[in-house]
Chains A and B, each alone.
Chain A
């Protein structure tokens, strides 16, 4: 089987290879199928990858026409046919056991292993499953030999990996990297550095299940082990480099929010724990945080990490754990000083009237939905009651004299 399901918002390497070089995927799958003498092949992908689906089907049709698929392939006794299975869009479908359940028409929820898929997989039969990207490398390895492939990368992680790179950098996109490459090599070298003369603040490695690295760790290599040692994971092999305009709490909120929405809900800690964490992060970003929350968050995250069944629950908390590990100060500043330096956490905004600029025109009074603004007429400067203010930004937009900040 080919796993061509990508749920991480920032990853699209499987999609690219399925769209750009579908034959390569099919060829890889066929080689694998031949090796294990499989009789049925399935390419699993998302239904919203419509271009990939169309091209894969075309590639399969062409392969059938040329006799590379079907009965007695190229005159041998080996027969296999391959079909494309379009799953619905769900992050958890990418997990191997959930993916197989989805093909069986059941609710995709990861299963405990063992039994492993290679003994007892789809429909209870032994199943070999790899990512589209992995299968696509197979033809090249067969052609050029294992020695060639092994010559790349560090001794504990051969070959290379396609990364999806984004963030506040000059050039972004997919890049295939030798695993010896460091983040700094990528950011400063291939990506042309941080855009607009700003500075690197945080590397978000591993997508929504990954974590955050400070600039000091930019020399980390992009192989599995080095990443793990730094407290992050390769995850969906995407990373984003952000400048000072990024807030670590805001980024964590995004990751946790995504995972909270995508968890299948099977395991108690993941189902309930992630919601609790999301609420806590909301509290912090909206000024209701308490200092002890940081330690509690950390403890909760560790618990979810050890008690969850599948990779989602296990890794979903990286965003918070690494955030607290490397950026604790930023958490504290949000809680104690109620300031978000990156001005991302709108909940911490304070609206103030600059009395000297205010012309008491009264324009801001009407738009305020909670009646928090008093004065503002008859030469008296306006005043905003912070207890009533809900940070809706209406007064800011209404003021013609930039008197509100």
Chain B
């Protein structure tokens, strides 16, 4: 149902959305042609394949992110400082949302130095900042100013250095421990991934958690109340008890931006995509084609995610493997993974063709019009509702001609499935549906789309 009241507004939004969708989908290429880092997790402190810098310098910054309904939101963020000497307080430097994804290898001695460069968009702000590391053990800090949660970096270039040993493999959140009800909402958070000694293609020191390192994904969930951000931007008071989110994000983006590749140039401050791009599970293949999907929730609400396609297998929670004291397998499968506030879940996922069988085995011709006998009127292009991502065939790797005038996002008959919050009002950008906490899963035919 669509109301007539705001038809022109809706038309504008729809146009905007379509433009973004077209732009978002077009750079995605086949698996074989996919550049490293185009999708899946980017470890910002990786200096060589599998080698992670254990001395990380972060700075504070601020900037704006875009929402597909046309809005922009003022945010704060951690930014990677590759050369602190080049940076002075008040200089815009590398703002990104969310903060840089940091990876370590189990057992690495980690130091993270935070320098409070203030906020260049609003230099009048004098907030101290800090970082806490939930799930890590033995975190210490030196210098800095004592704070309630941890040591803090004062405004005007103050620094604080945190140290810990990355002793536990898994997926973790880091975020502000200063005025956190405001600062975390403003965007001071990010993800830490600790790879086990068993190997970077395992989630834990547990052989059952092996995955294909080309398919290592994160879904960092957050929510935004634009009133809070407006109040901070305008120097106005904000009552956190009235917190009322209007936007719901994955990896700092709202659908359809979530399916754009990493570092999409039209999303300059939101570098992390959330598209899953896989091939079907093949038991006979020597390639190990489970994907790792790491959920993190930095928000204040639980988010009941729903992966279409198949169940996920939850093998770890909050950076702890789901194993009993004797190594018993306590992992479980679900199609309704709820990610609690501050929680992480490490999961394995694959998709296997078990529904249709070989082409024709259900008696379905490849032409969906003939196969399903659903559109009785001809010409067939009239009065149909054809999804842009639909190949036209039930079968993977097959296509049919799209109806005239339908935008086609597909490449070679690949499948697209949706993953989204099943608190369905969160699958929206404000009041505009098919947005928000949604991403897509792309399943290519075996071997990927031809180049």
Q: Do A and B come from one complex?
A: no
Q: Which B residues are within 8 Å of any A CB, using their own CB?
A: none
